[in-house]
Amino acid sequence: IEDGDKLEFLDVLITRSTGYQLFETTIYRKPTYADLLTNYHSYVSMQYKNGGIITMVNRALIICSTYTSLAAEFIEIRRIGLLNGYTSSFIDTIIGIKLSQYRKKNNDVIQSPQSGPDVKKRMYVEIPFIENATKEFRNKITHLCNKLRLDLDIQFFMKPSPAVQMLYQTKDPTNKKMKSDVVYSIKCTQCQHSYIELRRSGRLKNKPTTTITTPSVIKEITFAVQQHQIETRHQMNWDNFRIFMQDNHYYRLLIKESLLIKAYEPELNRTTHSVPLIVFSDGL
């Protein structure tokens, strides 16, 4: 909603200029913006540190419609960078480079992309970031490529090492009986009859053996496993059931359940499939 001749849209602030009958645009940040980006002292490649400042500078050059708003945004970028450990010279160097590139791009005549045998094929390579070892490895690959493959232009991307918290298990593992969105199989302890079923939102519970045998109760029990327990007085092996697969997509679960039923032909399953098997009509 426009308020005071101003309208916020995503990261753009549009201002209506009543005197000149035109619009001005600048960068908009939410009041909850925390002024955080990759800290300069973080153990990541310099490409990531450059990218944090370059992204903000490029966004300012594209969105800001006047030099006044652009200058104000550069001041804001310097403030945010200093809060995150970047030096003024580092930030000013990037601003100067990107501003020169932007002005040159606007002044130069647009040229058609080059083609022919002299144009190098660009290849992107991701390598792990281990500081000096990564730089040495990159230089060796580049030197080798310049000797053997003059037609390649290799661009390297440094992949940072995983966070320390990823090396530790912060949550207790989910008990097998509490997992959902799974296709599982259960066997009888006496006759070894099996049953395959999917559990989507429900949970696999440790179900005690029932001793109720009245006809009225049996009619209410439609679950094949419970029916088998009542009719044969057998017990199902709920402590050692097998989980075949897990999937968050319900239709994929149905297909997998149907394929497993056709493949294993469990005795307690009363249906041959849960959904029509068009692609796998003959099973696995």
pLDDT tens readout for residues 13-47:
888 877 667 888 889 888 888 888 989 998 888 88
> Tens-digit pLDDT profile for the chain (284 aa)?
677 778 888 888 888 877 667 888 889 888 888 888 989 998 888 888 988 999 999 999 999 888 888 999 999 999 999 999 999 999 999 999 998 988 888 776 555 555 666 678 888 888 888 878 888 888 888 888 888 888 888 888 888 777 777 777 777 777 877 888 888 888 888 888 888 887 775 444 444 433 333 343 333 334 778 888 888 888 888 888 888 888 888 888 888 888 888 888 888 887 666 666 665 545 44
How confident is the model at residue 79, as a pLDDT?
93
CA distances from 253 to 79, 182, 216, 250, 262 (A): 51, 7, 33, 5, 14
The owner of tokens 């201002």 is 15
Give the strand pairing for 242-246 and 152-159: unpaired
The Cβ of residue 182 has, within 10 Å, a number of other Cβ atoms equal to: 20
How confident is the model at residue 155, as a pLDDT?
85
The Cβ of residue 215 has, within 10 Å, a number of other Cβ atoms equal to: 6
Partnered with residue 154 across adjacent β-strands are: 123
| Main-chain phi, psi angles of 260, to 5 degrees | -70, -35
Q: Strand, helix or coil at 98?
A: helix
How confident is the model at residue 205, as a pLDDT?
43
Non-local CB neighbours of 26 within 8 Å, separated by 6+ positions:
12, 13, 15, 63, 64, 65, 66, 69, 72, 73
How confident is the model at residue 96, as a pLDDT?
92
